Amino acid sequence: THCILIGAPVDEGQRVPGCMMGPSAYRVAGLGRVLESLGHTVEDRGDVAPAPPAGETHPNSAIHHLPEVVAWTNALSVAGRSAMPDGMPIFMGGDHSLALGTVAGVAAHAKAADRPLFVIWLDAHSDFHTPETTTSGNLHGTPMAYAAGRPGFAPFPPFPAAVPAENICMFGIRSVDPAEHRMLQETEITVNDMRVLDERGIVAPLREFLDRVRAANGLLHVSLDVDFLDPSIAPAVGTTVPGGATFREAHLVCEILHESGLVTSLDLVELNPFLDDRGRTAKLMVDLVGSMMGQKVFDRRTRSF
């Protein structure tokens, strides 16, 4: 695979400064070296630079840094769309508001290529607010609703081609605000919250979804939020929620994603290196990308065991 690293040092979608250091931390932790060691080619396109913010406003006064996030959305959408025909973009965040742009860019490409887009959201949160419903005012809580084509996103650009609800699958969910909960219940989005993962394990629901992606010849975007992981193994995130994915569950998800051969783009979001413990969260995230791109302890050569 030709891996295209794209830095997205977005910090304005939440309130704990430090995500802007994420792309540097991934480079220091050796993301490119790990990918090359697995036989991939790596092209680092550097960090995306947004246009100057234009001064958009919104009636919901809780929202902060709206013009900055709109500018990031535009720039990252362009970066994503232009990377897709060249290889697999890996967006190094940056907080999760960057996915407003990355998924828009990938969706624009999918539309032009006439392929359906599927999204896997690995996160403690459903990120299903709109600018109208957010009470925190943190726009990192909105990208999944934007991609699903929810109304209420002005002054963001219209989402290029809404991702159908049946093509969206969330894993690891354990923090959903009341407004998100109401809107999610109106949709067919698959919400694999921790209850589902405790009861069924992570493998069966993941394989069910991947089978549908394969059957539809879809493109698959994976959005990996650090807080998907349990805070005991991944402390470097501003919004820790107890009870997250374990080390073993997280690697298993990534290995199965690799075996599927279906992943076409990836976000790495919410890493806040300022909160890290000697780089351990950055290193874990790099190791997880390694698993997603073919790193195995033992190469079984077949996918049935």
CB 16 within 8 A of CB 64: no
Choose, from 227, 230, 249, 255, the residue flagged as catalytic.
227
**Phi, psi (rounded to 5 degrees) for 283:** -65, -40
Site string for ligand DIR, 93-132 (x = CB under 6 A): ---x----------------------------x-x-x---
Residue 228 CB, shortest distance to ligand DIR, in Å, is 10
How many C-beta neighbours within 10 Å does residue 1 have?
Answer: 17
Binders of ligand DIR among residues 233 to 292 (CB under 6 A) are: 239, 270
Using the minimum distance from each CB to Mn ion, give the nearer residue, 25 or 144. Answer: 144
Residues 6+ apart with CB under 8 A from 304: none
Pairing of strands 190-193, 168-173: parallel
Residue 38 CB, shortest distance to ligand DIR, in Å, is 29
Question: Does 227 qualify as catalytic in the annotation?
Answer: yes
**Phi, psi (rounded to 5 degrees) for 154:** -60, 140
Q: Which of 171, 94, 62 is nearest to 127 (CA)?
A: 171
* Tokens matching residue 292: 């997603």
3-state secondary structure of 175: strand
Choose, from 109, 140, 221, 258, the residue flagged as catalytic.
140
What is the DSSP secondary-structure string of 35-85? HHHTT-EEEEEEE--PPPP-----S-TT--SHHHHHHHHHHHHHHHHHHGG
- Count of residues that bind ligand DIR according to CB under 6 A: 13
Find which of Mn ion, ligand DIR, none residue 264 binds, CB within 5 to 8 Å per kind: none
Residue 261 CB, shortest distance to ligand DIR, in Å, is 29
Using the minimum distance from each CB to ligand DIR, give the nearer residue, 129 or 150. Answer: 129
Please give the sequence-ordered ranges of beta strands (E in DSSP) within the chain, or none if there are none.
2-8, 41-47, 88-93, 117-122, 168-173, 190-193, 219-225, 263-269
Binders of ligand DIR among residues 125 to 184 (CB under 6 A) are: 125, 127, 129, 134, 136, 138, 140-141, 177
Binding of residue 222 to Mn ion (CB under 5 A): no
Question: Does 193 qualify as catalytic in the annotation?
Answer: no
Q: Which of 120, 144, 78, 125 is nearest to 226 (CA)?
A: 125
Binding of residue 127 to Mn ion (CB under 5 A): yes
Alpha carbon 224 to its chain centroid, in Å, reads 4
Choose, from 11, 12, 95, 123, the residue flagged as catalytic.
123
Question: Does 96 qualify as catalytic in the annotation?
Answer: yes
3-state secondary structure of 101: helix
Residue 10 CB, shortest distance to ligand DIR, in Å, is 13
Using the minimum distance from each CB to ligand DIR, give the nearer residue, 29 or 144. Answer: 144
Find which of ligand DIR, Mn ion, none residue 276 binds, CB within 5 to 8 Å per kind: none
Find which of Mn ion, ligand DIR, none residue 287 binds, CB within 5 to 8 Å per kind: none
| Site of tokens 């860019």 | 105
Q: Rule CB under 6 A: which residues touch ligand DIR?
A: 96, 125, 127, 129, 134, 136, 138, 140-141, 177, 227, 239, 270
- Give the binding site for Mn ion (CB under 5 A): 96, 123-125, 127, 138, 225, 227, 239
> Mind telling me the catalytic residues?
96, 123, 125, 127, 140, 225, 227, 270
